[in-house]
Amino acid sequence: MTARPLASAQVPPSVLDVLRKSAAYLAAKGVPEARLDAELLVARALNCDRLALYLAFDRPLAETELAACRAAIRRRARREPVQHILGDQAFRALTLEVTADTLVPRPETEEVVDHVLAEVDRLMTAGVAAPALLDLGTGSGCIALAVATERPAARVTAVDQSAAALAVARRNAVRAGASVRFLQGDWYAPLEAAERFHLIVSNPPYLTPVEWEAAQPEVRDFEPRAALVGGDDGLDAYRHILEDAPARLHPGGGVVVEIGHTQGEAVAAIARRAGFDDVRRERDMEGRERAVIARGAVRGG
Ligand SMILES: C[S@@+](CC[C@H](N)C(=O)[O-])C[C@H]1O[C@@H](n2cnc3c(N)ncnc32)[C@H](O)[C@@H]1O
């Protein structure tokens, strides 16, 4: 028998019934982590958190609650990202709005923010009281807003070419109570000619078209391609960002970029060619290369 999403029954189904049927239905549709997603979506439909579901397994659902669960589970079964259905995603201490116009902020990017904060702290220790930070390709605003809220002394500018993504990022700034200057345009283009920063950070598009084609449906069919694909070799954005970075940095400034886990050597080489003489590669908690940190630009200032 094929799994069906929460078929109507004479007796109102309980929370546990709905969870079991939803998880089985999602699993049958190939959804990874089907039970977790069922819990997240049912909890949101019932306006409670996941833990509360476990304390209410026997509670019968009202018809309106059941309809809300059905609608959400059907969307997830079509492989729409759970964050698009929920409309938000936790990122460090923030809860960020996400839509189909923004990349869903990833856990590995939360780790990259640790490197960014370490660089901000290094600058402040060196006497830069209010470091100027530029986040290129801000998307939902996750990196810019994490820095602005966790290091309020930093002066944060965030750029994206997508007006729709920037609208989401601006709403997220209001939600976070953070002060960030948002600019629309192609990488450095919207900046004043003489503007310099102490730190340039970016999680740019870094997939090749072939990797994008092979990605999960959640990514390929629902996230913006322009947020993901970085030219034929996946490195176009690094070339743009790193080659122009030295001219945009104050002396002693640096760059932190997130990378795909196979790109460490290539991105480090681009950074060295751009004039950085102190280039470091950092791994994430899974042991995969995830960030390149570049300092010592010879053209700084
Ligand atoms: C991989 S997403 C990262 C979004 C966000 N920083 C994050 O970590 O979740 C890359 C972002 O770069 C933006 N982008 C792509 N090309 C760009 C360009 N030429 N100039 C400015 N932004 C660009 C995309 O719109 C997208 O928001």
Per-residue pLDDT reduced to its tens digit, 77-108: 999 999 999 999 999 999 999 999 999 999 99
Question: Measuring from atom 24 of ligand 1, which residue has the nearest CA?
Answer: 227
Residue type, 107: P
Phi-psi region of 127 (alpha: psi -120 to 50; beta: other; left: phi over 0): left
Alpha-helical (H) ranges within the chain are: 15-28, 34-45, 50-54, 63-77, 82-86, 107-125, 142-150, 163-176, 209-214, 217-220, 236-244, 264-273
Which residues of the chain are under the pLDDT cut of 70?
1-9, 299-301
**How confident is the model at residue 8, as a pLDDT?**
54
Residue spans of the domains in the chain: they are: 15-78, 92-297
Please state which of the four CATH numbers 3.40.50.300, 3.40.50.11540, 3.40.50.150, 2.60.40.1180 is assigned to the domain occupying 92-297: 3.40.50.150
**How confident is the model at residue 166, as a pLDDT?**
98
Pairing of strands 180-184, 132-136: unpaired
Question: Measuring from atom 13 of ligand 1, which residue has the nearest CA?
Answer: 137
**How confident is the model at residue 297, as a pLDDT?**
86
**How confident is the model at residue 174, as a pLDDT?**
98
Residue of 94, 102, 103, 133 to test ligand 1 pocket, by largest number of atoms within 8 Å of CB: 103
Please state which of the four CATH numbers 1.10.260, 3.10.530, 1.25.40, 1.10.8 is assigned to the domain occupying 15-78: 1.10.8
**How confident is the model at residue 301, as a pLDDT?**
41
With the C-alpha atoms ordered 292, 294, 299, 301, is the resulting torsion angle positive or negative? positive
Question: Measuring from atom 17 of ligand 1, which residue has the nearest CA?
Answer: 161
Residue of 162, 229, 235 to test ligand 1 pocket, by largest number of atoms within 8 Å of CB: 162
**How confident is the model at residue 298, as a pLDDT?**
75
pTM summary value: 0.94
- Hey, do 15-78 and 92-297 end up sharing a CATH topology, with the first three levels equal? no
The alpha carbon of 160 and the centre of ligand 1 are apart by a number of angstroms equal to: 6
